[in-house]
Amino acid sequence: MRLVHHFLEQSAERFQDKVALVCDGRRLTYAEIEEQANRLAHGLRARGLQRGDRVAVWLPNSAEAVVAIFGALKAGGIFVVLNTTTPVGKVARILNNCTASALVLPARQAEDARFLQQAVPSLGTVILCGDAPSPAELPGLRWEDVLGAAPPTRPPCRTIDVDLACLIYTSGSTGDPKGVMSTHANVVFATGSIIQYLENTPEDIVINVLPLSFDYGLYQLLMVFRFGGTLVLERSFAYPAAVLRRIEEERVTGLPGVPTLYAMLLQMNLSPFDLSSLRYMTNTAAALPVEHIRRLRARFPWVRFYSMYGLTECKRVCYLPPEELDRRPGSVGIPIPGTEVWIEDESGRRLGPGEVGELVVRGSHVMQGYWNDPEETARRYRPGRYPAERLLYTGDLFYMDEDGFLYFVARKDDIIKTRGEKVAPREVEEVLYRLPGVVEVAVVGVPDEILGQAVKAFIVCGNGVRLTQQDVLRHCRAHLEDFAVPRYVEFRESLPKTPSGKIDRRALAEGRG
């Protein structure tokens, strides 16, 4: 039996003095992280944490966040990583939803800690990291005091692999936070499958600029600690030049990114940086435009580029083998090792090549559902072939080619219905990305009394390029059916983003972005 915290423990046994984490100017070995996680686990247990209790980690990407994740697991708990940009009122709702028993957060957020102690009745332990902005008494325990008073020995483990390891909160299509329940077995399978196709080895050095609250960012940590590599953990990609310098300095081999990150890279002058150590890049969270893939391939011809698709409810679904990029640049590939997928219509009939329908996922990575939300769980997770088996209905529209390669069409909720026709936003976006100078695009449907919905395009230009609405419409008329040509075009300096770096389509459609 293998558990998630065994990733750290086994790497600490194999590579005791190897640098596991580079973060905030610190270099921590596997042995050091193992010792600190053991101390935190003892500290949590001494304060009443029981097997299966939820431990919330509301910290930026940091060594303390890494230790808190593994310490919670070693204590028998379930970790819940929260994005640092989440407002405290929403944090309170999440903590009440999962009845969190413990919370780790920065000492500078002492006032938030006081509010949450009052707003979340289940919260028995609050641990604060770092220096407080004032000498006033902190509303909780100091991180240093908890670790300093606890032994460094590995605590006894009563967890088994069907126990929950973490809750990952995702807003989904409704906007209400839902906690996706992941067992140890789910995480062990998903990390193993991804490591297999990425061909990771202990020599890999992976940089992560994505928040640990986002499953794509979290899994960089879990995977690296499983295969015994080194994780270079950054706060964000807000200062691209600094991140590129870090890639050069640390001889990074793996760069996981999202479309926003790659759009920024493509606008930069990369000549001052030695990025030759990069072995692979990955993209998920949202489909990368084909034009961006082409340009990235030209900029980084020696790098293996993996275009992928996944969602929190099962972590990863598919990946495109890099050798297929030139033949199928619009595809997100084949199912990850050990899994099965197919496409269904609304009546449940399996569809053949070229037919568009909902993607269905089967495998050990399919999570357990949503915490304390049986109705939404029943909608997305449905009975499978065998008793008690669950399939994931993704809510995403796909089609498959004759060779079994998958192509993302749209979220069901994003399909634009105009003039009695259905328009997939991605089809329009791919056409717009072919215009020179276009950096980012979002196409949404907006209410229209005559059309039902009208197609609206939001466009960000870069490199000094200036386009007009007429330029855009002329280009679209030459490459799209007439009903798919945008009725409205709006140029922006930037587009609103979700905490995970995706373009916030809902905000644009609702006029909030």
In total, the chain counts a number of residues equal to 513
d(CA 99, CA 320): 39
Cα dihedral value 334, 340, 346, 349, nearest 10: 110
Beta strands in 346-464, from DSSP E residues, in sequence order: 357-362, 381-383, 390-400, 406-411, 416-418, 421-423, 438-448, 452-461
Alpha carbon of 256 to those of 221, 252, 417, 486: distances in Å? Answer: 12, 11, 34, 32
Eight-class DSSP state of 107: G
Please give the model's pTM, rounded to 2 decimal places. Answer: 0.89
Give the tens place of pLDDT for each residue, 474-501.
999 988 888 889 999 989 888 898 777 7
What is the location of CATH 3.30.300.30 in the chain?
Answer: 415-509
238 pLDDT exceeds 90?
no
Give the tens place of pLDDT for each residue, 310-340.
999 999 999 999 999 999 989 999 999 999 9
224 pLDDT exceeds 90?
yes
CATH level 3 topology of 415-509: GMP Synthetase; Chain A, domain 3 (3.30.300)
Domain 237-337+362-380 coded CATH 1.10.1280.10: no
- Of 245, 216, 217, 248, the C-alpha closest to 233 is 217
CB atoms within 10 A of CB 323: 8
420 pLDDT exceeds 80?
no
d(CA 511, CA 351): 36
Give the tens place of pLDDT for each residue, 126-167.
999 998 777 667 899 999 999 999 999 999 999 999 999 999
d(CA 402, CA 286): 24
Per-residue tokens: 56: 């919330």
> Percent of the chain, pLDDT > 90?
71
What is the location of CATH 3.40.50.12780 in the chain?
Answer: 5-11+29-184
pLDDT reported for residue 509? 80
Per-residue tokens: 317: 């679904």
Q: pLDDT-derived band of residue 173, with 50, 70 and 90 as boundaries?
A: very low
Q: Among 3.40.50.920, 3.40.50.12780, 1.10.3720.10, 3.30.420.40, name the CATH number for the domain at 5-11+29-184.
A: 3.40.50.12780
